[in-house]
Amino acid sequence: MKTKLKIILFLLITLFLTSNIQSQTNTTNSNSNPEKDKILVYILRNILTRSHFVVKEMNDEFSEYVFHEFINGIDPNKRYFTKRDIKNFEKYKYDIDNQLLREDLSFYNLVYDQFTRKINNAKSYYVDLLAEPFNYNKKEAINIDYDKVSFAKNENQLIDYWRKQLKLSVLIRVQDKLKKVDKNKTEKQRKINFKKLEKEARSEVLKSMNELYERIEELENEDWFSTFLNTIVSAFDPHTTYMAPNMKERFDQDMSGKLEGIGARLQRKGINTQVFKLVSGGPAWKQGELEAGDIILAVAQGNKEPLDIVGMRLDDAIKFIKGKKGTEVRLTVKKKLDGSTKIISIIRDIVELDETFVKSSIVEKNGKKYGLINLPKFYIDFDEKSYRDSAKDMEKEIERLKKEGVSGLIIDLRNNGGGSLKTAIEISGLFIKKGPIVQIKYRGEAPIVKYDTNEKIQWDGAVIVLVNEFSASASEIFAAAMQDYNRAIIIGGNQTYGKGTVQSVLPINQFTKYEENLGALKMTIQKFYRINGGSTQIEGVYSDIAIPSRYSYMKFGERDLEGALIWDKVNQVDYIPTKSYENFSEVVYNSKQRIASDSKFKLINEYAKWLKKNQDNTSYSLNYGAFSEENLLQEKEAERFKTVFDYESDLNFTSPEYELSLQKKDTVLADKRLSWYKNLSKDVYVDEALNVLSELKLTTSNNISKK
């Protein structure tokens, strides 16, 4: 259960990280490259104005947008700039568009130089403020909705902003600590405890801030300039982004579900690079000597001289550790367990990020077996056509489940943010004979219909598609196609995310002879439309059966993004819905009745309203007495929802036959599956999906898109 204290702490951590990491992507300009920066501005400007889905003029309105977004983006918590600074910046407020047309970075340089001076003061601010106890008897409050907070009038007010934010951080920690103190202590003992715990809390906040600024100092000019470029490109729409070279590499890995390296997740620990986690089945995991918690001191490429990476920024250290398949890396490691130092040799290989891939489970209900397939992402490998992609994996998984004798399928797309449109179309085709799946439209052109042309139906049985408010993009294309063809019942939140735009990733170096890697532009070039003509943009896909969730009343989704493209529609294409189910309407009605009368779902709905109320409440007292009372009231309210997600079904989820032998060889995989199956048995949404699936009756003809 998240109490108000935990919610506030999360918000503060998020705000600190957002404010500092987004803004301070470099504290020195020693790595700046004016020629490269101007080339990037020139190319991005030309690509966007000529090829973006939205026709947008670079005018005064555009300039004003970039002005406000850039300043608010680097200082969202109003902790660096004053009104005097803003007034100084305003001489360029309506001239940024003109500057960009001539590759003039005067506005960027002015803001950056002033920010550099301001950021250098930050450490002295928080160090001095945390040196002594705050006045906890003072009646004052803080509003952490910084969009509603103006910039400080002067430096004194700026320091006061810092004081309030740090004071809130300390109060949260003190409150958490006091909960663990014996309530039977006398008032005098409580006061002594408060002083002691308050001092501990200030020390912890100071340590946290110091660690944060250590990470900030790692960031380089390329990171910083990326922030400015992203402000410019986001003026076209929120999904158009500039990706610096390292971000482009991560994007490719995410889409393909693989990388080449040792298979270890690394993190910064002080001045060291520490192993956070090993990827199951990866080279380091197979080699067996490297463990989570180990510190990597040096890196050698084969038998070459080792390179000391202590104090090196994390991204740079990772570059030396990663490498091509078949090459050797020798890591000098300080072991976590005994502090000993040893050299570990690892042969790099392809690392599959298995949490990205399709996985399935079998469950029995009312004497019948059903299959649940989890698809976390519509992945594809752009580099090797023979390598796995989500469509091929889905086809294999369905075939395996058919051999197990399952009577119906649940396709779980919850939290699936999308991915490859190609695989979304191919996966849709697994459930129909053939036909149109989606329409896509370039600016100023007629829609293009994308078809499934393969007449083979991989699965002609009953289908449930499970979605939530984070199911987006390609997930919505698949869900919409299944809904339009009447092939599946869509179950989940009221509506999906609502991202109905298509982005293309353009390597910038293809437009120039400049030798250094310039990264890529992920640009919106098309818009999705359902085969019934409606866009998935903003609206998403409305569930046939809407189930309350913690997100039911929260503000997020495409409809809440500034600058999101509008919903519209085009002509419906010629398609014939299937007649898959005899009792579609009856089953939907029965489920809605169950949900409406179920005490568990009623409680979830009340919980969602409570979370919304907390989200809207952004003002907190900094008087200790009032702060404690607020949180005591909050905890009493939270107690009501203590068991909101406590649910235990009698369902037993198991692995498909083919995976059992794999789990015997891979104990990590076995543990992951065991944990997943345990969570499925506690998942009230899966349980209701199975209720619906078990009631569905296929039509005798089972006419699935026969033309």
Catalytic amino acids? Answer: 473, 484, 499
**Beta-carbon contacts of residue 34 (< 8 Å; ≥ 6 apart):** 105
Per-residue CA distances from 105 to 92, 413, 475 (Å): 11, 44, 40
**Beta-carbon contacts of residue 115 (< 8 Å; ≥ 6 apart):** 23, 24, 74, 75, 80, 81
Q: Do residues 556 and 495 touch, judged by C-beta distance below 8 A?
A: no
What's the start-to-end Cα distance of the chain, in Å? Answer: 53
Q: Do residues 487 and 427 touch, judged by C-beta distance below 8 A?
A: no
User: 224, 75, 73: which is closest to 158 by C-alpha?
Assistant: 75
Q: Do residues 240 and 234 touch, judged by C-beta distance below 8 A?
A: yes
**List of E strands, 270-358:** 272-278, 295-301, 307-308, 328-334, 341-347, 349-352
User: 418, 370, 379, 373: which is closest to 396 by C-alpha?
Assistant: 373
| Rounded distance between C-alpha atoms, residue 198 and residue 540, angstroms | 48
Question: What DSSP line would sit under 241-270, residue for residue?
Answer: EEE-HHHHHHHHHHHHTEEEE--EEEEEET
Tokens 């982005």 appear where?
Answer: 503
Identity of the amino acid at 612: K
User: 6, 9, 3: which is closest to 169 by C-alpha?
Assistant: 9
| Rounded distance between C-alpha atoms, residue 42 and residue 101, angstroms | 8
| Rounded distance between C-alpha atoms, residue 122 and residue 209, angstroms | 10
Q: Give the pair of three-digit tokens for residue 198.
A: 């308050």
| Rounded distance between C-alpha atoms, residue 49 and residue 620, angstroms | 45
Question: What DSSP line would sit under 447-501, residue for residue?
Answer: -EEEEE-----S--SEEEEE--TT--THHHHHHHHHHHTT--EEEESSB-----E
Question: Other CB atoms closer than 10 Å to residue 229's CB: what's the count?
Answer: 20
DSSP H or E stretch at residue 62: helix 60-74
Q: Do residues 540 and 567 touch, judged by C-beta distance below 8 A?
A: no
| Rounded distance between C-alpha atoms, residue 591 and residue 402, angstroms | 26
Q: Is the dihedral of CA 183, 187, 191, 192 positive or negative?
A: negative
Which is it for strands 272-278 and 295-301: parallel, antiparallel or unpaired? antiparallel
Instruction: Name the percent of the chain in helix, strand, coil, to the closest 5.
Output: 45, 20, 35
**Beta-carbon contacts of residue 58 (< 8 Å; ≥ 6 apart):** 45, 49, 97, 100, 101
- Give the DSSP letter of residue 334: E
User: 150, 81, 160: which is closest to 125 by C-alpha?
Assistant: 160
Strand partners, 259: 351
| Rounded distance between C-alpha atoms, residue 422 and residue 255, angstroms | 12
DSSP H or E stretch at residue 603: helix 599-616
| Rounded distance between C-alpha atoms, residue 168 and residue 16, angstroms | 12
Query: Residue-wise over 125-142: b if at least 16 C-beta within 10 A, else e?
Result: bbeebbeeebebeeeeeb
